[in-house]
Chains A and B, each alone.
Chain A
Amino acid sequence: MDDLLKRLLTVDTLINVSVFFFIGLMVWLYFQGDKNGDSEKRVE
């Protein structure tokens, strides 16, 4: 368990997890609002 935590909590891993989160967020932001078809109204 200690070994697992140690591996997961390294600086490298944490930075990479934040990058994965960022990539996911960007994909979500790109598609967000598409379904409703009202993105034009909100933006303008």
Chain B
Amino acid sequence: MSTFIKDYIEKETINRRNFLLASAAGLGSMAMPMAFGKGAAFAAENPALAWSYRDRASAYWNSVVSGGEAFVESIGKTKEDMVSLINEGSSEKSLADIKAFLAKNSGNCAIACDANDSPNARPVVEAVKEAGGYISTIWNKTDDLHPWDIGDNYVSHMSWSDEKPAEDTARILFAAMGGKGGVVHLGGIPANNPAVKRLNGLKNALKDFPEIELLDAQPADWDTTKAAELMASFITRYGDKITGVHCANDNIAYGVIEALKAEGITGMPIVAYDGNMEAVQMVMDGDLLATVFTNPHWGGGVSLALAYHAAIGTFKPSEEPNEHREFYGPTILVTKDDAADFKAKYLDNVPTYDWTDFWGPSNGGIVYK
């Protein structure tokens, strides 16, 4: 631990020094193209590659990383050529690591990144721009930050529209409930964007089912243990009134199923989200009605591919339409009918993607409300 802190302080100190150097270099590189003519993009050779993300303790991020590695191998490099910048849920660390990486490689970088929280996206992309690197982000950014306002260095942003898929799972749930009864929602961390969207999706579907009552919706923090305890409390409060459960992700559904098991309740209609291996198996076994797969492997690969190809000059981001700079990732609904096919296609064998087909599987440009 003490070495961890010591290392961290050392890194921060070096980082601050390098940041000054990098800023100077960044200014230099910005001035350079101007000398050679207006706005001529710098085609970098062999940029250093990095993925910046939260942690390795979840199936989701591991899948993102596996996509990044698959892309790196597709361009004839080894997995080790992609550096993992793990922010451990800290925006400060996210920014500090990226600045250090830029400084180490004199800005010749292609980075894919989830900035950990929305406000952190701006300082991250500005640091990358200043150093002359290229970055693609996923999930977190504020609505007023757009790649086209920053320039070619901010290549793209990908997010997932969770509202519609969550609405679809809610409709499947309500149909299984026979169009009437009581439903409880166990959500993610309250302020998390996807948590809000997934609850909204449920509420949208409720409008078409007047005989279904939303009994309660409370956060379970994406956590299996918390979900089991919350579900147990729901059972005390609502008892038999609960005839369906809408979960914000798969981990929550696992806890719900165990809480019901403890009560000897079987056959409760439950829907989830994320399309993890275990959840898909549960859909096949009939323990879950549906889950939603967001293909994190593809998201992880294509984000890094976009940054890389922009860096080496394969395409010029500013010449692309806005829906190629900000777009939704794919969402696939998994139900009992297609779970076996889905598992064989996406989970048992990871498909080989064409990493230059940047927008093929995507779901259209991001729409702000």
Chain A partners chain B: no
